[in-house]
Structure 1
Amino acid sequence: MAELRHLVIVLGDQLDLHASGFDGFDATTDAVWMAEVAEESTHVWSSQPRTAVFLAAMRHFALALQAAGRPLHYTRLEDAGNAGSLAGQLAADIARLRPVGLLMTAPGDWRVLQAIKAVAASAGLPLDIREDRHFFVTVREFAAHAKGRKSLRMEYFYREQRQRHGVLMQDGQPEGGQWNFDADNREAFGSAGPGLLPPRASFEPDAITRDVIALVQARFADHPGRLDSFAWPVTREQALQSLQDFITHRLPLFGRYQDAMWPGDPWLYHSHLSAALNLKLLNPREVVAAAEAAWRAGHVPLASVEGFIRQILGWREYVRGIYWTRMPAYADGNAMDAHEDLPAWYWTGATDMACLRDALAQTLAHGYANHIQRLMVTGLFALMLGVEPQQVHAWYLAVYVDAVEWVELPNTLGMSQYADGGLMGSKPYVATGKYIQRMSPHCQGCRYDPAQRAGDRACPFTTLYWDFLMRHEQALARNPRMALQVKNVARLSDADRQAVLERAGAIRRGEVGHG
């Protein structure tokens, strides 16, 4: 057998035929390595939809590699002798294949990177880790942006990237004369509701995906979530169809309704592209270019396009920079000293709070919730309840089909839980149930009243909001963006404070809010 020069490692979120790991690939001397291992579904209690998305996309990508003439060593989950872990399987295959060296595109997970480095060192093999060209900004470039700044703010980073890449720019100035169109966006649907919505871009599972669904249902039967409505894109071709469908049918109203929620309808005007992006089935450059082209052709309002591009070129790139310049210590952040357990009903949806019940039901059914449901419903409740942020992180990483740690961890610990003390967000995002009432009709059918902070009918969100401000009153008083909210706390009488504390205690004991 000819000597194997490079074993090119491809992970489940690196499904790109043009990745840097393939630069200089020689089919006569190199081979690709991929493995499905149970550890990736058990190190957090990965939901069935999330596991199925990864496995189906990996198996389809294996076919694409073979069609491209690239020798492949692929281990399936059900193969005899599967080591069960990424490190174990890689070590076993190195011993069998005896490559001269290992090569890969930089992974998106600190844990996985350390495991692969350890295997390479143990085997005495060189490991060539190449830059991930998928992103607009390298980790080194982000580090240079952050160096010397007293504080980091996504807005300044985003403006730099708009200028650097010429996105929505004209003669050095932002199109429309402003960088941000939030004032034109973020409306609620109103009492009439969203009306006739464009259908979700969905894909009937083929034979490969059906096999994966059956495997996941059998192997991970006790894991949360369901697969009866599985329709996610799992190939490059399907991902491109999803992109075009969003640009044509939902982007025109995306900006206006990006923060709106409606019971029983998870899809609304959102893109549903994050899983395809994070698996590398789509490149963010083509996504941003397609959105900008739709505006320049007159098909989409500037406010919608800017709001969408901000999520891709702004937030997505920014959180990756935060992750890779702050790990591993970032994962241990707990700035609010939160130590409560995550309520068990987060895994089942069995709560009598209408907004949470709806968000959890669709999460378990589809592995999906929009950014407002994540930040201002599931995340908000956990933050104000005082849940240990690492438990919140583990839940988000487990349940969502688009969850890869580089993007999920900063969004959860930083933006949602304020566990990094203000690195990701300049203040804790806390609100009473009145916010949810303003952005959705959930409160109309709920047993709780968002206007009440204490008593049997008090909305747990409202109770916990006041409880959160009271518990952190001194610390929050030092944050200028929280000054007004803290002043409102100071106006509470001793009796009002005691009533809030008693109601918050009942919520934490599980006497309120469970199904």
Structure 2
Amino acid sequence: MAAVRHLVLVLGDQLDLQAAAFDGFDNTQDAVWMAEVAEESTHVWSAQQRIALFLAAMRHFAQALREAGRPLHYRRLDDADNRGSLADELQATLAALKPQRVVMTAPGDWRVWQSLKAVVEAAGLALEVCEDRHFFNTVREFAAYAKGRKSLRMEFFYREMRQRHGILMQHGKPVGGQWNFDVDNRESFGAKGPGLLPQRALFEPDAITREVLDLVRTRFAEHPGSLDSFAWPVTREQALQALQTFVAERLPLFGRYEDAMWPGEPWLYHSQLSAALNLKLLNPFEVVHAAEAAYHAGHAPLASVEGFIRQILGWREYVRGIYWTQMPGYLERNALYAQQPLPGWYWTGDTDMACLRDAITQTLAHGYAHHIQRLMVTGLYALLLGVQPQQVHAWYLAVYVDAVEWVELPNTLGMSQYGDGGLLGSKPYVASGRYIQRMGGPCSQCRYKPAEREGDDACPFTTLYWDFLMRHEPMLAGNQRMVMQLKNLSRLTEAERQAVSQRAEAIRQGRVGGSQGQPA
């Protein structure tokens, strides 16, 4: 076996032939290492769509590497001697190949990074970690931005990013005269619903993907979800086609309806590009520039384009900075001291609350839900119920195809559950069932009434909303953004407070809405 100069490690979310780890790659001296292992699907109870997407994309990328002539050491999950973990597979490969150096692009998961780093160092080698060029901002740049600030707010970070990169800027000022068009982007579909919607970008599974689907159905048969609708982009070419389809068909109305919901309609006008972005099949630079070009061409209105770009240039960059500057301690934060178990029906959708049933069954069917369903349905309920944020984090990491920990953890523990006490978001995002009803939730199909907080017909969201304000009133009193909600709370009589508390306790005990507990 020829001596290996550089062994380049490629993880399942690093599928880019132009990644920094390949800089200077020599096909005659260097080699690539990739491994499919059970641990990455079982350290959280990963859903079948998520497992299948990662494996299918990895195998297609392996094919692209071979076509590029890059020597590849690839371990398949179904290999008889698969060792089951990235650490064990890498240890065996280092012992066999004895490379002079190990190189990788910065990973997206602290746990994985620490594990691989330990293996490389135990072999007497140094792990060279290269910058991930799939971001506008480096972690060091974010750390420098955050240093010395009394508080961090995404909006101000986003404005600096717009200025630095010249995105939607004109003569040093934001195009349209303002930075943020949120006020134009909060419409619901109204009583008649969304009408005719553009079709989801579908990609028929090829032979490689069909082989993966069969493997997942067999190997992970007890894992949640279904593979019947699997049609995600798994190659660079498919991801580019998905981007083109979004810009052409859904971007013009994305902004207007980005916060809207409608029962039985998973896709609406959302991009569905986050999985391809997080696997690195798409580069955020090309996504942002495609959206900006659509505005300048008169194809999409500024409010839609700005709202979409803010998700990538602002929020995506911001949460990555939070993750890597706050780990590993960030994972353990629980500012509200929440300890309730995650309801078992989060893994099945077996609840009589229509909005949660709709969002969860959709999630299990497709590995997908849009951001309002995540923040203001599944996330909101867990927050109001008082679920331990680490359990909520594990569920989100398990069930969504776009979930990589650097983006999922801050969004879940910080934004959704307020577990970091306001580092990521300036207030807890709490609302009653009326918000869900207003944004097009399936409340007309539900046995509960969003306007009621007490009694057998009261919406659990509404009961728990008032209970949440009561339980956390001293902490919330110091938050200027909660003044109006606490003023409304002050109008409740003592008898009304007691009635809310009693029903909230019944909900927490599983006597309302569905059973409690963890999956088997």
Query: In which range does the TM-score fall when normalised by the shorter chain?
Result: over 0.9
Per-residue CA deviations over 1:75-114 (Å, capped at 9, x if unaligned) read 0000021110010110011111111111000101000010
Deviation at 1:441, TM superposition (A): 4.3
In 2, are the aligned partners of 1:189 and 1:440 still within 8 Å (CA)?
A: yes
Alignment of 1:427-442 (within 5 A): 427-442=427-442
Provide the secondary structure at the position in 2 that maps to 1:34. Answer: strand
Matched position secondary structure for 2:226: coil
User: For residues 507 and 441 of structure 1, what CA distance do their matches in structure 2 show?
Assistant: 21
Pairing 1:98-497 to 2, within 5 Å after superposition: 98-497=98-497
Q: Deviations over 1:400-424 (max 9, x none)?
A: 0000000000000000000000011
Q: For residues 244-280 of structure 1, what are the alpha-carbon distances to aligned partners after superposition, in whole Å with 9 as ceiling and x for unaligned?
A: 0000000000000000000001000000000000000
Secondary structure of 2:74's counterpart equals strand
Could you state the TM-score of these two structures normalised by the residue count of structure 1?
0.99
1:22 equivalent in structure 2: 22
Contact 1:46 1:397 in 2 (8 A): yes
The one-letter code matched in structure 1 to 2:490 is A
Q: What percent of counterpart residues are identical?
A: 76
User: What amino acid maps onto 1:229 in structure 2?
Assistant: S
For 1:212, the aligned partner's letter is V
Name the aligned partner's letter for residue 371 of structure 2: H
Letter in 2 for 1:35: A
The letter of the residue matching 1:381 is: Y
CA distance in 2, matches of 1:134, 1:440: 35
Q: Is the 8 A contact 1:414 1:422 kept in 2?
A: yes
SS in 1 for 2:200: coil
Deviations 1:33-57 (A, max 9, x none): 0000000000000000000000000
Counting matched residue pairs gives 515
Deviation at 1:127, TM superposition (A): 1.1
Equivalent in the alignment of 2:65: 65
TM-score (norm 2): 0.98
SS in structure 1 opposite 2:498?
Answer: helix
Q: Does structure 1 conserve the Cα–Cα contact (< 8 Å) formed by 2:359 and 2:369?
A: yes
1:438 CA displacement: 0.3
Tell me if 1:77 matches 2:54.
Answer: no
Q: Distance in 1 between matches of 2:487 and 2:267?
A: 38
Residues 50 and 70 of structure 1: CA distance in aligned 2, closer, same or farther (over 3 Å): same
Secondary structure at 2:390 match in 1? helix
Separation in 1 of the partners of 2:308 and 2:491? 40
Q: Deviations for 1:360-408, whole angstroms, at most 9, x for unmatched residues?
A: 0110000000000000000000000000000000000000000000000
Which AA in structure 1 matches 2:164?
A: R
1:289 and 1:138 map into 2 onto residues whose CA distance is 19
CA distance in 2, matches of 1:44, 1:441: 29
| 2:503 partner amino acid | R
Code of the aligned partner of 1:272: Q
Conserved? CA contact 2:7–2:30, under 8 Å = yes
* Cα separation, partners in 2 of 1:389 and 1:60, compared to 1, 3 Å: same
Asked if the contact 2:3/2:97 (under 8 Å) is kept, the reply is no
Using the TM superposition, give the Cα deviation of residue 455 of structure 1 relative to its aligned residue in structure 2, in angstroms: 0.3
- Of the structure 1 ranges 487-496 and 353-362, higher mean CA displacement relative to structure 2 is found in 487-496
Residue number in structure 2 paired with 1:97: 97
Distance in 1 between residues matched to 2:294 and 2:93, nearest whole Å? 47
Amino acid at match of 2:43: H
Residues 200-228 of structure 1: per-residue CA shift (max 9 Å, x gap): 00101001000100100100110000001
C-alpha deviation, 1:69, in angstroms: 0.9
Q: Which residue type is aligned with residue 235 of structure 2?
A: T
Within 2, Cα distance between the matches of 1:448 and 1:80?
52
Q: Secondary structure at the match of 2:8?
A: strand
2:425 & 2:459 partners in 1: Cα distance?
Answer: 26
Structure 2: distance between partners of 1:27 and 1:207: 28
Greater mean alpha carbon deviation, residues 94-103 or residues 421-430: 94-103
Structure-2 separation of matches of 1:461 and 1:126: 51
Q: Which amino acid aligns with 2:127?
A: L
Q: Which segments of 5 or more consecutive residues in structure 2 lack a partner in the other structure?
A: 516-520
- Alpha-carbon distance, 1:502 to partner: 0.9
Considering only aligned residues, what root-mean-square deviation do their CA atoms show, in Å?
A: 0.7
Contact 1:20–1:131 under 8 Å retained in 2: yes
